Amino acid sequence: MTEPEKGPLGLRRGRGARERILIAARQLFREQGINSTGIDQLCSVAGVSKRTLYQHFASKDEVIAEHLRRFDPDILPGVFDCADLTPRERLLAAFEINAPLCPFIAAAVEIQDPDHPARALSRDYKTAFATRFADTAREAGAAHPEQLGEQLALLLDGASARGRVFSTESFATAAAIAAVLVDNALPTAAALPGARGGTGS
């Protein structure tokens, strides 16, 4: 009863009900939003009974929180840990993605209570992302790495939000701005012919 969360083997429990729930949550929350996804639908897509869901999660809010927690180690390493790229290339590689709406922005908009765990996770994630940007910017020799990191993070969020309003991707526009900002902040790159920046909408 109560909390038989972990067995001695780490994930010894069951046949992956919890995992299926989180997979279904990721899909449904992305496709139709958090508030529009009911527990019943979530269970049916996950192939899990409601009873089982509430044995793994105390409430829907916990499903949301855990759903967001799964994103933490997701994008960050994939973008910033490519050792075969220069720091400058790594800064710009973050804009070569093709994502729908950032789930953290979605959660921040859909959930009203600022004290909701999901809101805190969104802040943490966005802060961590900006910090990652700043670290790479510092590594690249930027004049004001913190500032550049915050600026690049804002660009990503703008592209994400705008991509939700329209249906087309806006990351190309953000990438063009990012190229300008990076070239502006890295004194060593002043002489680049940098054929970037033409890609408007």
Between 46 and 185, name the residue whose CB sits nearer to DNA.
46
By CB under 8 A, tell whether 36 contacts a second copy. Answer: yes
For the chain, how big is the Rg over CA atoms in Å?
20
Environment class of residue 90 by beta-carbon count within 10 Å: exposed (0-12), middle (13-18) or buried (19+)? Answer: buried
User: Contact region for DNA (CB under 7 A) — 16-24, 84-92, 121-129, 153-161?
Assistant: 16-24
Phi first, then psi, for residue 42 (nearest 5°) are: -60, -45
Reading phi first (left if > 0) and then psi (alpha if -120 to 50, else beta), residue 35 is in alpha
Between 23 and 161, name the residue whose CB sits nearer to a second copy.
161
Interatomic CA distance for residues 148 and 131, integer angstroms: 10
Q: Which does 61 bind (CB under 5 to 8 A by kind): a second copy, DNA, none?
A: DNA
Interface residue list for a second copy (CB under 8 A): 32-33, 35-36, 101, 104-106, 108-110, 112, 114, 119, 122-123, 126, 144, 146-147, 150-151, 153-162, 164-167, 170, 173-174, 176-177, 179-181, 183-184, 190, 192-201
